[in-house]
Amino acid sequence: MDVNLTSAFLTTQYAIPAMIEKNYGRIINISSVAAQTGGVIGPHYAASKAGLIGLTHSYAALLARNGGITANAIAPTLIATDMVKDNPSIKPTLIPIGRFDQPDEVASVVLLLATNGYINGQTLNVNGDWYMS
């Protein structure tokens, strides 16, 4: 909870006054498909990532009147990082597309949200067809 949720809350709370002063800002939280499906890591992880989606929705609604500030979340699936690759119970066959998410695939969605001022309050699923919304 501290790493995945509390850190995002505290960092955003710290940044909001400057965003409001500038009438510009992008809040981009990295959630997970686990928030929507329960995932494979455990309930603590799923709960913290689901909390990020709620936090994102709350900030989007609270800050919408400051037209230049947006808040969105990205919910990737299992990303090909050491945390995933080193876990023998996590295999790419868990994902319908049959492979792990690549870091650059998630990064391109971060870039989209960082440069778009109209997408707000959304959770973009970058998850290889694991969870469809």
Report whether 5 contacts 54 (CB < 8 A). no
Q: How far is CA 67 from the centre of its chain?
A: 21
Per-residue pLDDT reduced to its tens digit, 2-53: 999 999 999 999 999 999 999 999 999 999 999 999 988 889 999 999 999 9
Helix, strand and coil in the chain, % to nearest 5: 50, 15, 35
Question: What residue spans of the chain are helical by DSSP H?
Answer: 7-22, 34-37, 43-63, 82-85, 103-115
Asked whether residue 81 carries a pLDDT value surpassing 90, the answer given is no
pLDDT-based confidence at 85, cuts 50/70/90?
confident
Q: What is the pLDDT of residue 67?
A: 83
Count of Cβ atoms closer than 10 Å to residue 116 Cβ: 12
The residue type at 22 = K
Rounded to whole angstroms, the Cα distance separating 77 from 96 reads 11
Per-residue pLDDT reduced to its tens digit, 42-58: 899 999 999 999 999 99
From the candidates 24, 45, 59, 131, which is the catalytic residue?
45
Helices (H) and strands (E) in the chain, counts: 5, 3
Q: Which whole number is the average pLDDT over 93-114? A: 93
Rounded to whole angstroms, the Cα distance separating 38 from 125 reads 15
Asked whether residue 116 carries a pLDDT value surpassing 80, the answer given is yes
Report whether 75 contacts 127 (CB < 8 A). yes
Q: What is the CA radius of gyration of the chain?
A: 15
What is the share, in percent, of the chain residues with pLDDT greater than 70? Answer: 100
pTM of the model: 0.92
131 counts as catalytic:
no
